[in-house]
Amino acid sequence: MATTTSIPGYTFGSAARSPVTLAEFETMKKSALFGDDDVRALRASHDVVRDQVEAILDVWYGFVASQPHLLASFTGRRDGQPLGDYLGAVRKRFGQWILDTARAEYDQRWLDYQHEIGLRHHRARKNRTDGADASAIVPFRDLFALIFPVTFTLKPFLAKKGHPAEEVDRMHAAWVKSCLLQLTLWSHPYVKDGDF
């Protein structure tokens, strides 16, 4: 895995302030039944996933590539062909996202970067980070739906290190909750002002 300083466009720690406050995020966690046990489970998953990041990404990228409507967010506007450099840069950040999720450090820097990720899916900043000429937005309808394939295909990786089934289930449930929370944060740019 690349060092974070060598990941193009990875601006964790220097992103603009999120419009969502830490106090609001705390209430979101309550809505998702996300607590200290989930934080512990996510942090336990870090050692499990850290040497499997590329294999996990292979599965996730394979899924996206198999779905033309999902791949369209990474294809050229003029010719409809996949943009290899764009996919590669996003992949590096996606791999770091796996590790950041497993670290479960929910401070202001993390919250700010979640908003930045949301902006990069929305027409507000899509393509700017990598100078890509892809579609102008990741359609909102695809964001939440992707939680299932991402978390469903992650579970076998969580089980690969010999943890008891109940511990794997705890890690997996924590990942599902974390993904729900993160995708909700990413949706902020898509939501009408005052409705988030």
Question: What residues make up the domain containing 46?
Answer: 17-190
> What is residue 134's three-state secondary structure?
strand
Q: Are 140 and 190 in contact (CB under 8 A)?
A: yes
- Average pLDDT over every residue of 138-149: 95
pLDDT in tens, 103-131: 999 999 999 999 999 999 999 999 999 99
- Domains of the chain: total: 1
C-alpha–C-alpha distance, residues 18 and 20, integer Å: 5
185: pLDDT strictly greater than 60: yes
What is the secondary structure of 138-158 as a DSSP string?
Answer: --HHHHHHTHHHHHHHHHHHH
Q: Is residue 38 part of a domain?
A: yes
Band of the pLDDT at 3, cuts 50, 70, 90?
A: low
78: pLDDT strictly greater than 90: yes
89: pLDDT strictly greater than 80: yes
- SS3 track for 6-31: HCCCCCCCCCCCCCCCHHHHHHHHHH
Output the six-digit token pair for 109.
């820097």
Res 90: pLDDT: 96
Q: Is residue 11 part of a domain?
A: no
99: pLDDT strictly greater than 60: yes
Please, what is the end-to-end C-alpha distance for the chain in angstroms? 35
Q: Is residue 196 part of a domain?
A: no
Q: Is residue 68 part of a domain?
A: yes
pTM (predicted TM-score): 0.95
CATH, residue 89: 1.10.490.10
